[in-house]
Amino acid sequence: MSLRPSLMTLPILALVLSGLPALAQTTANDGAAVDAGGQPPMVTTDAAFIRQATSANLLEILSSEQAARRGQSAEIRDFAIRMVADHKAAGAALAKAAGQPALDATADPTAMLDPRHADLLATLDRAEAFDSAYVSLQRQAHEEAIALFQDYATNGEDGPVKEFAEATLPSLQQHLTAVQALPTP
């Protein structure tokens, strides 16, 4: 199953993924941009969150599609199949919250990955100890996604995209717990 968007979806996707305005940030009394924990927020605009969440979500899907095919253990393959289903559903929910069409089956999803996520996927592609590399990638990806979603749920623009971030956090946390329980060869 491929994730290629139709020609109608590409302009919307290009807008989301293109050079959007600089990220807005909240400011502390001294003028420094910070979040509730005293750290700079990752993102505070819907457009920036959508771009980063889309790339993170696609990394989860693409790496898990590989694991469903290449995984050595049944437990890894079962987890991967669950990740594909859950993250495709999350992608559709994000598109709905953003008022955009869901990704069409004709798009090249790798073109929508940010460079760091593309590098992580390429590293997984070359991994000889695939199961171990996949579990490591999933742990890292879920930790980063949780941080992104928590940050946006706290600092993001009020509205459906922020509500999506808040509603999706428990699933991401469950995924991290599940990946931490996976065997690593």
Which CATH number fits the domain that encloses residue 63? 1.20.1260.10
Structural domain includes residue 6: no
Provide the token pair at 4. Answer: 């290629």
Q: How far apart are CA 37 and CA 94, in angstroms?
A: 26
CB 112 within 8 A of CB 13: yes
Structural domain includes residue 32: no
The terminus-to-terminus CA distance of the chain in angstroms comes to 29
Q: How far apart are CA 91 and CA 170, in angstroms?
A: 15
Structural domain includes residue 39: no
The residue segments making up the domain with residue 127 are 46-180
Structural domain includes residue 40: no
How high is the pLDDT of residue 60? 96
**Number of domains comprising the chain:** 1
How high is the pLDDT of residue 106? 63
Structural domain includes residue 11: no
Provide the token pair at 117. Answer: 């996520």
How high is the pLDDT of residue 9? 36
- Please report the DSSP string for the chain in residue order: ---PPPTTHHHHHHHHHS-PPPPP--B-TTS-B--TTSSPPS--SHHHHHHHHHHHHHHHHHHHHHHHHH-SSHHHHHHHHHHHHHHHHHHHHHHHHHT-PPPPTTS-GGGGS-HHHHHHHHHHHH-SSHHHHHHHHHHHHHHHHHHHHHHHHHHSPSSHHHHHHHHHHHHHHHHHHHHHTS---
Residues in Cβ contact with 178 at an 8 Å cutoff, skipping those fewer than 6 apart: 79, 82
Structural domain includes residue 8: no
Structural domain includes residue 21: no
Structural domain includes residue 25: no
Overall size of the chain counted in residues:
185
Tens place of pLDDT per residue across the chain (185 aa): 444 443 333 333 333 333 333 333 333 333 334 444 555 557 889 999 999 999 999 999 999 999 999 999 999 999 999 999 999 999 999 999 999 877 665 677 878 889 999 999 999 999 999 999 999 999 999 999 999 999 999 999 999 999 999 999 999 999 999 999 998 76
| pTM for the full predicted model | 0.76
CB 122 within 8 A of CB 63: no
How high is the pLDDT of residue 100? 87
